[in-house]
Amino acid sequence: MVNTVGSCESKHWHKKWIPIKESLSLNLRQRELIVGSLLGDGTMRLGKGAQNVNFKVEHGLMQKEYVIWKYRILKQFVFTEPKISYRYDKSGRRYEKSWWFRTIRHPGFTKIYREFYEGESYRNGKKIIPAKIEKYLTPLVLAVWIMDDGSFSRNRVDISTHSFSLLDINILQRCFKDIFSLNANYYNDFDRGHRIYFNQEETKKLVKIIGPYIIPSMMYKINFATP
């Protein structure tokens, strides 16, 4: 990957990149990736004075290949290649924390943002499940979500849904049933919130649906299972 243009967010590049931004539009695969990521670890931000949002991907150091996979799908919207994020420990020593990248600001992202966030003017709002989430859910969306926030233990797949309300989880349960014929359950994960899980039989059905979309480096999320 070669970075030839730097960040488009600076004033220096702003006028030059307006025509390029306006010529871009999200295709179906890109939209599915974004929605799956928003259900998981992805974030969007509407900065002070900005009219449109950007989309940020960030995962742990061991998930570099996953970050690069996302980058390649969204590459036309990313003018700065993925890089390592650093943090400092208590002694002031710098250490590597994660791999990340951020897209340009674009109306296509803003349209999705307004459905997945709430708050005053949608700024710094809390991520929510849209009332009509069913229009977005596809096997790829579900696969990205599980690659982001899923885990495999006791022969079942769990999904971290701590940030979502019980009402949101109930909406998701209905969608799993209506769209994928999957029965999802949930449990109270101590004081962290609720967590969705699929029992062993439902996990087998789930793997058949999402297995073809799980990239090799993330197969551990479904225990390297095959349909």
Q: How confident is the model at residue 10 (pLDDT cuts 50, 70, 90)?
A: low
Q: Are residues 17 and 109 in the same domain?
A: yes
What sign does the dihedral 124-128-134-137 (CA atoms) show? positive
On whether both 121 and 139 belong to a single domain, the answer is no
Q: What are residue 150's phi and psi, to 5 degrees?
A: -90, 165
Higher-pLDDT residue of 128 and 61 is: 61
Structure confidence at residue 225 (pLDDT): 47
Question: What is the distance between the alpha carbons of residues 147 and 70, in angstroms, rounded to a whole number?
Answer: 11
Cut 0.85: pTM above it = yes
Report if residue 3 sits inside a domain.
no
Which residues are registered as beta bridge partners of 84? 99
Burial status of residue 124 (CB atoms within 10 A of its CB: 0-12, 13-18, 19 or more): exposed
Pair (39, 92) in one structural domain: yes
Instruction: Please report whether residue 65 resides in a domain.
Output: yes
Mean confidence (pLDDT) of the chain: 88
CA angle (202 as vertex; 198, 207 as ends), nearest 5: 95
Last residue of a domain, one of 77, 98, 127: 127
Residue indicated by tokens 């949101």: 168
Same domain, 102 and 180: no
Q: How far is CA 18 from the centre of its chain?
A: 26
Q: Do 33 and 122 lie in a common domain?
A: yes
The packing angle between helices 64-74 and 28-39, to 10°, is 140
Give whichever of 26-35, 112-121, 130-139 has the largest mean pLDDT. 26-35
73 CB-near residues (< 8 Å, 6+ apart): 29, 30, 33
CA atoms within 13 A on the CB side of 28: 6
Lowest mean pLDDT among 62-71, 82-91, 111-120, 131-140: 111-120
**What tokens appear for 32 in the block?**
């599915």
Question: Same domain for 73 and 28?
Answer: yes
Question: Do 164 and 194 contact (CB within 8 A), yes or no?
Answer: yes
- Is 227 a member of any domain? no
pLDDT at 172: 96
Supply the range of the domain harboring residue 214: 133-222
Query: 19 vs 31, which has greater pLDDT?
Result: 31
* Number of independent structural domains in the chain: 2
pLDDT in tens, 22-31: 678 899 999 9
149 assigned to some structural domain: yes
16, 119: one domain: yes
Helix, strand, coil percentages for the chain (3-state, nearest 5)? 45, 20, 35
Q: Which of 96, 127, 158 is the last residue of a domain?
A: 127
pLDDT tens, residue by residue, 133-192:
999 999 999 999 999 999 999 999 999 999 888 999 999 999 999 999 999 999 998 888
pLDDT at 124 over 90: no
Q: Which helix (H) or strand (E) holds 182?
A: none
Q: Is 93 exposed, middle or buried (0-12, 13-18, 19+ CB in 10 A)?
A: exposed
Whether 58 is in a domain gets the answer yes
Q: Is residue 43 part of a domain?
A: yes
Q: Are 103 and 74 a contacting pair, CB within 8 Å?
A: yes
The Cα–Cα gap between 136 and 133 comes to 6
Q: Same domain for 34 and 116?
A: yes
For residues 74 and 177, membership in a common domain is answered with no
CATH number of 117's domain:
3.10.28.10
Q: How confident is the model at residue 126 (pLDDT cuts 50, 70, 90)?
A: confident
Question: Is residue 70 in some structural domain?
Answer: yes
When pLDDT is averaged across residues 11-39 and rounded to a whole number, the result is 80
**In this structure, is the dihedral angle defined by the CA atoms of residues 212, 217, 222 and 227, taken in order, positive or negative?**
positive
Q: Do the domain assignments include residue 6?
A: no
Final residue before a domain boundary, out of 95, 127, 159: 127
Please report the pLDDT score of residue 24 as a whole number.
83
pLDDT at 7 over 50: no
88 and 181 inside one domain: no
